[in-house]
Amino acid sequence: MNIFPIVLCGGSGTRLWPMSRGGYPKQYLKLNGNHTLVQQTALRLRGIEKVSAPIVITNNEQRFLVAEQLREVGVTPSSIMLEPVGRNTAPAIAAAAFVAIQHAPDALLLVLPSDHAIRNDAAFAAAVHAAASIAADQYLVTFGIAPTEAHTGYGYIRRGTPLGYNASAFAVDAFVEKPDAKTAAHFLSEGSYDWNSGMFMLKASTFLDELRVHHPEIAKQAEVAVERAQKDKDFLRLDAEAFTASPNVSVDYAVMEKTTRAAVVVAADDLGWNDIGSWSALAELSDADAEGNTLLGDVLQESVTNSYVRAEHRMVAAIGVQNLIVVETADAVLVAHRDRAQDVKKIVERLSESGRHESVTHRRVVRPWGSYEGIDQGERFQVKRIIVNPGAQLSLQMHHHRAEHWIVVKGTALVTNGDNEILLSENQSTYIPLGVTHRLFNPGKIPLELIEVQSGAYLGEDDIIRFEDTYGRTSRA
């Protein structure tokens, strides 16, 4: 059996704002250890026998981010597929199925969200192998999690008759939407309901056959999107026209709730699964002190109980509070009652509606060449700290509305400034007038750090005319 992991990296993780944002969602954050969630997902695959390199599905904006994070942990994906637009999980999985079949007609797809936490990798591997033998017999297998509480934030699966493969395998009797508290309590006491983890084991050909029956337009457009896909260095760009024409439907709605082939493998009780769908979920996953507090970063507390307090940049002091979530970042602070953690998305919606950048970007913005961070800004000026990775370079570009002054703080910069090319070392600087073509390159072996002072009538990131770009971008830096 050829198992092809499909790692879904398209989520935005708005419930974990202000750390998780549209431009840098939770799968790329180190929330519960030394690795990011997508790195944990990729490394977890090493415990599974007969598993191929993963197929990663992401979008154009995050392509370099996921590639770099996988490189950091020594994982080389077989393909990084780029969705031109978000179309939910059914089209994404369908496209991955067509790609996997090109490699192996009997391919099994292990579909994994990139932003889940699992404590017991051995139990995960055991569940995967149990599911693989069932999926090979043309069942579409989902992974169920035995509930430990009456949770209202998860969908549920009602187990049907045992399938006879092993004690954990059942036919699916029904998929149930997220319940209210009373219904969830009934599910817990009744004993035949499991949480729907959103992980699947599917034989690619069987899944596509069922998709053609229950949602043929998704199968059709996904196949065309793969047939017309363009290879772009390490990435596979799905055809924009075909993929955009696909209906926006989840795999549950498109196939799993309609098929007669649905099965569930209930994972072992010690799997330690958590979808980290909210700050309260992350708090449950984190180690707490004797007062029930999780205190991360520079935190001082006095008479605080049952709270999650996280300081990313500054000292946070809390006195006499309980049942709170407090998360501090460079440009935003969240304070929420632990029971209202799911409502963080409402704040993100309000930020988006008002056009505020805090819903999408952090003060530190990651780019394929490194990163930049806003330090100060005012009328007609802006100051940034820029870091360029060794061997990386910004695009050859020009601005209509701003001039720039670069001061090297650390490392060496090779600067194209109009018709001149100059080498700058620490404490040296250059001025780039408005309208002059320029480029910044790090020829050294250590990160280049510099301060950029912008001045002009308009300082938006869209004031870039790009002439050449190593990374194939057409807008923004």
Please determine, for residue 173, whether its predicted confidence score (pLDDT) is greater than 90: yes
146 and 121 in a common domain? yes
Taking residues 316-339, what's their average pLDDT? 96
Task: Read off the pLDDT of residues 284-309 as tens digits, 9 standing for 90 and up.
Answer: 889 999 999 999 999 999 999 999 99
Number of domains in the chain: 3
pLDDT of residue 61: 86
Please determine, for residue 477, whether its predicted confidence score (pLDDT) is greater than 80: no
* 174 C-beta neighbours (distance < 10 Å), count: 12
Query: Where is the domain boundary, 346, 377, 397?
Result: 346
217 and 338 in a common domain? no
143 and 53 in a common domain? yes
Q: Is residue 352 part of a domain?
A: no
48 and 73 in a common domain? yes
pLDDT of residue 23: 87
pLDDT of residue 438: 97
pLDDT of residue 232: 86
Q: Is residue 474 part of a domain?
A: no
174 and 47 in a common domain? yes
The pLDDT mean for the chain works out to 94
128 and 47 in a common domain? yes
Q: Is residue 71 part of a domain?
A: yes
263 and 313 in a common domain? no
162 and 15 in a common domain? yes
Query: Where is the domain boundary, 316, 346, 376?
Result: 346
Domain housing 340: 279-346
Token duo for residue 277: 């769908």
Q: Cα angle at 162 between 160 and 164, to 5 degrees?
A: 155
197 and 92 in a common domain? yes
pLDDT of residue 71: 94
Q: Is residue 358 part of a domain?
A: no
pLDDT of residue 435: 95
Taking residues 65-72, what's their average pLDDT? 94
Task: Read off the pLDDT of residues 421-445 as tens digits, 9 standing for 90 and up.
Answer: 999 999 999 999 999 999 999 999 9
Percent of the residues in the chain that have a pLDDT greater than 90, as a whole number: 86
pLDDT of residue 12: 75
Give the domain CATH number at 103: 3.90.550.10
263 and 181 in a common domain? yes
pLDDT of residue 174: 94
Query: Where is the domain boundary, 220, 244, 274?
Result: 274
Task: Read off the pLDDT of residues 106-125 as tens digits, 9 standing for 90 and up.
Answer: 999 999 999 999 999 999 99
Q: Residue 233 — very low, low, confident or very high, per pLDDT cuts 50/70/90?
A: confident
383 and 331 in a common domain? no
Task: Read off the pLDDT of residues 198-231 as tens digits, 9 standing for 90 and up.
Answer: 999 999 999 999 999 999 999 999 999 999 999 9
Please determine, for residue 267, whether its predicted confidence score (pLDDT) is greater than 80: yes
Percent of the residues in the chain that have a pLDDT greater than 70, as a whole number: 99
Q: Residue 475 — very low, low, confident or very high, per pLDDT cuts 50/70/90?
A: low
Task: Read off the pLDDT of residues 255-265 as tens digits, 9 standing for 90 and up.
Answer: 999 999 999 99
Give the domain CATH number at 450: 2.60.120.10
Task: Read off the pLDDT of residues 6-19 as tens digits, 9 standing for 90 and up.
Answer: 999 977 778 999 99
277: Cα separation from own chain's centroid: 12
Task: Read off the pLDDT of residues 346-393 as tens digits, 9 standing for 90 and up.
Answer: 999 999 999 998 998 888 888 899 999 999 999 999 999 999 999 999
Least Cα distance to 1 among 114, 124, 104 occurs for: 104
Q: What are phi and psi of 254, to 5 degrees?
A: -70, -40
Q: Is residue 38 part of a domain?
A: yes
Q: Is residue 283 part of a domain?
A: yes
Q: Is residue 357 part of a domain?
A: no
Task: Read off the pLDDT of residues 12-50 as tens digits, 9 standing for 90 and up.
Answer: 778 999 999 988 999 999 999 899 999 999 999 999 988
Q: Is residue 475 part of a domain?
A: no
309 and 371 in a common domain? no
pLDDT of residue 96: 97
